A and B are shown apart, each in its own frame.
Chain A
Amino acid sequence: MSKCLETMFNEILFKNPVISASGTFGFGREYEAFYDLEKLGGLCTKGLTLEPKAGNKGIRLWETPAGLMNSIGLENPGIDAFIKNEWPHLKDVNTVTIINVGGKDEESYLKAIEKLNAVDAQLIELNISCPNVKAGGMAYGIKATTAGDITKKVVELSKHPVMVKLSPNGDAISEIALACEIAGAKGISLINTLQGMAIDYKKKSAVFNNLYAGLSGPAVKPIALRMTHQVCQAVTIPVMAMGGISTWEDALEFIMAGATCIQMGTMNFNNPMAPVEMIEGLEIYCQKEGLSNISEIRGII
């Protein structure tokens, strides 16, 4: 394989810049039926919390034109069960494993981070942007001050490099990103889902028990691209972009806007092979354009 897609994200080497996004990829196992996970640049686990979490009740998924709304509510087995049942399998996969961590308050974030010091992961994605949990989650991620505070504490405690995942639902995203950089984050990922709403007119009721839910998929791409560009202009740490990315052409747009890596989420549901097709597409593009590395077109806009 050529090295044209090899990408350094801070000090971490990715064999290519394509990573599957948190919550759309379980802990990887399910997709092994489709392809060898080692083809991926990396994979991001489902959002983990200190304690197991049952998630939200009622309808959790609702399709929209070119999009998907979800209200999973961070259902996950908890850090301990993850370390016991999933990590032994994941750690042997030859790709960058990113552990996504959520929390309901400062204490639960920090305890989770402390527990994860027991494993040798390459990168933590600090999720301060989940719109589907009542406590914590997005509450930390919509203000620069709180985002900076929690990031600082997590960075101090974690033995792993920390990338902070930002919400598109708060204050100016470039200011939040900058606060995270100053607090010691080694990277920024964005965007988490956009808060939306669905009403079932036939039932005369809101679709989701939580009223609001998170929108993802191609419908959000232009917003995600704009925010990626803004954040890339504002920070010097690398950016991992996502939001509606579905083809290698989309991936290129985000890289041209300044992203170092990209994540693919919702499109895994449309086509489980999408990340692999994207990697192939990017490789062919590099060859055709005569690029020795994809980074040559990074941030040209």
Chain B
Amino acid sequence: MAIIQSNDCLIPLIYKMSVDFTGAVLPGQFFMLRAWDKDPLLSRPISVHDYETGQLTFLYQVVGKGTEILSRLKPGDNVEIQGPYGNGFPEVSEDLCVVGGGIGVAPLHYLVKKYKEKNPQGTCRVYLGFRENSYGVEAFESMADEVILDIGGIITNRLKVNPGEVVMTCGPEMLMAAVANMVPPENKVYVSMEAHMACGIGACLGCTCETKSGNKKVCKDGPVFLREEVFYE
């Protein structure tokens, strides 16, 4: 159970929620959130958007019943949070190229922040694609060396990856597949997968993702996978 510090609407249907939390959290990990009893039945997986001691932040889009309930919570309300779960993005020291689409930008904020903390000399370039309205872009601009923004188009049309850059992407599967396809094989690419989840801890096998080396659990073995593990066909 965590107490909500703030829960603000950034643009219609996009919310940012901060809760009391202290613990070890890696970029790309997620929490299972629930602010209801048995209806809906399941908790909702939401990525870590930002973290500092005492404050954990989520960025989420209202798409259905669960996220709608989350959006109505007020500061001081309680929310059940379980986690952090999943492997998260690996820590790298090469230059970083980040590609986010829509609400897939949520985990990338903490990723870029941590990267810059660990690699003040490293270059971090960020591609962000949105369908209609953008959000959270200024935060990236304050941290990254370059932010390339696209609204209404196809962000991968503008994607140019430099030699030696490691690419990390999160967004609709179409976007991640396109990134996986177009980035030269010499560059490492990490993708953050999505799946419907029940337990979030590896016990139900509901979130299975087929990989080159057999079935993997998105909640436990992922959500972050190497490109060649999941897009191998």
Interface residues in chain A, defined as those with a beta carbon under 8 Å from any beta carbon in chain B:
23-26, 30-31, 33, 46, 54-55, 57, 59-63, 65-68, 70, 72, 75, 217-218, 246, 266, 268-270, 272
CB distance from A21 to the nearest CB of B (A): 11
Assess the B41–A266 pair: CB atoms within 8 A.
Answer: yes
Whether a CB of chain A sits under 8 angstroms from the CB of B201 is yes
Proximity string of chain B (196-207) to chain A, C-beta cutoff 8 Å, 1 when within and 0 when not: 111101111111
Q: How many A-B residue pairs have CB under 8 A?
A: 78
| Cα of A273 to Cα of B199 in the assembled complex, Å | 12
Assess the A268–B203 pair: CB atoms within 8 A.
Answer: yes
Assess the A246–B38 pair: CB atoms within 8 A.
Answer: yes
| Residue numbers in A under 8 Å from B82 (CB-CB) | 272
**By DSSP majority rule, is chain B's interface helix, strand, loop, or mixed?**
loop
| Residue numbers in A under 8 Å from B34 (CB-CB) | 270
Contact-residue bracket for chain B: 20 to 34
CB contact list, B177-233 vs A, under 8 A? 196-199, 201-208, 210, 214-215
| Cα of A57 to Cα of B215 in the assembled complex, Å | 10
| Cα of A100 to Cα of B40 in the assembled complex, Å | 29
| Cα of A74 to Cα of B40 in the assembled complex, Å | 25
Interface residues in chain B, defined as those with a beta carbon under 8 Å from any beta carbon in chain A:
34, 38-43, 82, 196-199, 201-208, 210, 214-215
CB distance from B39 to the nearest CB of A (A): 6
Assess the A54–B215 pair: CB atoms within 8 A.
Answer: yes
**By DSSP majority rule, is chain A's interface helix, strand, loop, or mixed?**
loop
| Cα of A262 to Cα of B170 in the assembled complex, Å | 42
CB distance from A273 to the nearest CB of B (A): 10
Assess the A218–B38 pair: CB atoms within 8 A.
Answer: yes
Assess the B39–A57 pair: CB atoms within 8 A.
Answer: no
Assess the B197–A61 pair: CB atoms within 8 A.
Answer: yes
Known: A62-B196, A68-B198. A24 touches B38 (CB 8 A): no
Assess the A60–B38 pair: CB atoms within 8 A.
Answer: no
A–B complex contacts, Cβ < 8 Å, 29 sampled: A23-B204, A23-B205, A24-B199, A26-B202, A26-B203, A26-B204, A30-B202, A30-B203, A31-B203, A33-B201, A54-B215, A55-B205, A55-B208, A57-B210, A60-B196, A60-B206, A60-B207, A60-B208, A61-B198, A61-B204, A67-B41, A70-B204, A72-B204, A72-B205, A75-B208, A217-B41, A269-B198, A269-B204, A272-B82
Contact of B206 among A31, A72, A218 (CB under 8 A): A72
Q: Which among A57, A62, A68 has the greatest number of chain B C-beta atoms within 10 A? A: A68
Assess the A270–B41 pair: CB atoms within 8 A.
Answer: yes
Assess the A68–B205 pair: CB atoms within 8 A.
Answer: no
Closest residue to A67 on the B side, CB-wise?
B41
Assess the A25–B42 pair: CB atoms within 8 A.
Answer: no
Assess the A66–B41 pair: CB atoms within 8 A.
Answer: yes
| Residue numbers in B under 8 Å from A268 (CB-CB) | 199, 203
Assess the B196–A61 pair: CB atoms within 8 A.
Answer: yes
Assess the A270–B38 pair: CB atoms within 8 A.
Answer: yes
| Cα of A67 to Cα of B199 in the assembled complex, Å | 14
Closest residue to A266 on the B side, CB-wise?
B41
CB distance from B173 to the nearest CB of A (A): 13
Assess the A218–B205 pair: CB atoms within 8 A.
Answer: no
| Cα of A134 to Cα of B91 in the assembled complex, Å | 43
Q: Which among B43, B199, B204 has the greatest number of chain A C-beta atoms within 10 A? A: B204
| Residue numbers in B under 8 Å from A33 (CB-CB) | 201
Known: A60-B196, A75-B208. A218 touches B203 (CB 8 A): no
Assess the B214–A54 pair: CB atoms within 8 A.
Answer: yes
| Cα of A260 to Cα of B41 in the assembled complex, Å | 27
